[in-house]
Amino acid sequence: MILITGAGGQIGTVLAKALRKKHGADQVLTTDIRHNDLAGQFFEILDVTDGVRLLELVKEYNITQIYHLASILSAKGEKHPIPTWEINMGTLLNVLEVASKTGIEKVFYPSSIAIYGSETNLTLGPQFGAQLPTTVYGISKVAGELWCDYYFKHFGVDVRSVRLPGIIGSGTLPGGGTTDYAVEIYHSAVQGKVFECYISEDEKMPMMYMKDAMRAILQLMGAPSKDIKIRQSYNIASMSFSPKEIYASIKKVLPDFELVYKPDFRDRIAKSWPDEIDDSRAREDWGWQPKYDLDAMTKVMLDSLSKQYLIK
């Protein structure tokens, strides 16, 4: 059975659905610190900082794979640096420790484009090197990647990871991230509201449509172990755009949509990240290939959200 931590979040809710479809609803145990409507047939409250409880659940449900999504993201992390470090690192170490003690077959760990930092002044983030993050979240992801590699080399834990860009989907809203504007903008557009954008107009960040992100995670986790040659984390890329570009893409469909720029501290975080990342190793090693570009994503996001808001 598969255990997902942080399953009530933006990625967790969609991943739980995808894993249920692939492996069967009775093969997925979702966990989170609070109950969620999309929790599914098997759900347990779990604060992953509690390693004893995690171990109990792994034994009780005969868990063979863990997808560890619970984490505090970049913007929220800057408001609570020490708790963010404790939560992000403590939970990962509990997962890796339990995996090594119980013979879990595979672990998935999402890293992030936040591992890069402004000192490196990058346009294209490379697969290796140049990891000088300026946020606590980014520091925790760099350290987390190294711990994954360590547990693979020293204890044989088959842990796999991708550095996720901003993920955009029409389901559960993201919370506490720097890239969240790229989801919120679509909600404002379909509701006919003026969007206040906290990122400056030309600031590009790497982004990805949720369906592509799901394919990447499932493809990585399904690949033969010998093909996973990088055990820190793989860069995966799809599209990269600025607020001005996503605004223009939405205006092609909704010409009356309006936006005002009010950059805040999140703009500084965005500026510390590269515009794009080099994902050639993921393409070579396990065949990664994105499908959606900005206009294709805009179309599906606007279609899907228009239906959701009509129902509400």
**CB contact at 8 A, 239 and 294:** yes
Q: How far is the CB of 274 from ligand AKB (least distance, A)?
A: 11
What residues numbered 87-146 form the site for ligand AKB, per CB under 6 A? 112-114, 137
Closer CB to ligand AKB, 165 or 169, in the complex: 165
Q: How far is the CB of 261 from ligand AKB (least distance, A)?
A: 18
What residues numbered 54-73 form the site for ligand AKB, per CB under 6 A? 73
Which tokens is 146 given?
């190294």
Task: Please confirm, yes or no, whether 137 is among the known catalytic residues.
Answer: yes
* Span near ligand AKB by CB under 6 A; candidates 12-20, 123-131, 177-185, 255-263: 177-185
Which tokens is 62 given?
């005969």
Which tokens is 51 given?
């390693």
What's the CA gap between 136 and 84, in Å, rounded? 7
| Interface pick for ligand AKB out of 179, 188, 233, 298 (rule CB under 6 A) | 179
The residue from 116, 137, 198, 234 that is catalytic is 137
Question: By rule CB under 6 A, what count of residues binds ligand AKB?
Answer: 12
**CB contact at 8 A, 189 and 246:** no
Question: Which residues face 31 on adjacent strands?
Answer: 44
Q: How far is the CB of 222 from ligand AKB (least distance, A)?
A: 23
Closer CB to ligand AKB, 31 or 74, in the complex: 74
**CB contact at 8 A, 27 and 33:** no
Q: Is 178 in the site for ligand AKB (CB under 6 A)?
A: yes
What's the CA gap between 135 and 132, in Å, rounded? 9
| Interface pick for ligand AKB out of 177, 243, 274, 290 (rule CB under 6 A) | 177
Q: How far is the CB of 201 from ligand AKB (least distance, A)?
A: 18
Sequence letter at residue 33:
I
b/e burial code for range 274-296 (CB count within 10 A of at least 16 → b):
bbbbbbebbbebbebebebebee
* Span near ligand AKB by CB under 6 A; candidates 49-57, 97-105, 173-181, 184-192: 173-181
Picking from 230, 226, 210, the residue whose alpha carbon sits closest to that of residue 290 is 210
Picking from 150, 31, 46, the residue whose alpha carbon sits closest to that of residue 99 is 150
| Interface pick for ligand AKB out of 48, 136, 142, 164 (rule CB under 6 A) | 164
Residues that bind ligand AKB (CB under 6 A): 73-74, 112-114, 137, 164-166, 177-179
Positions marked active-site:
137
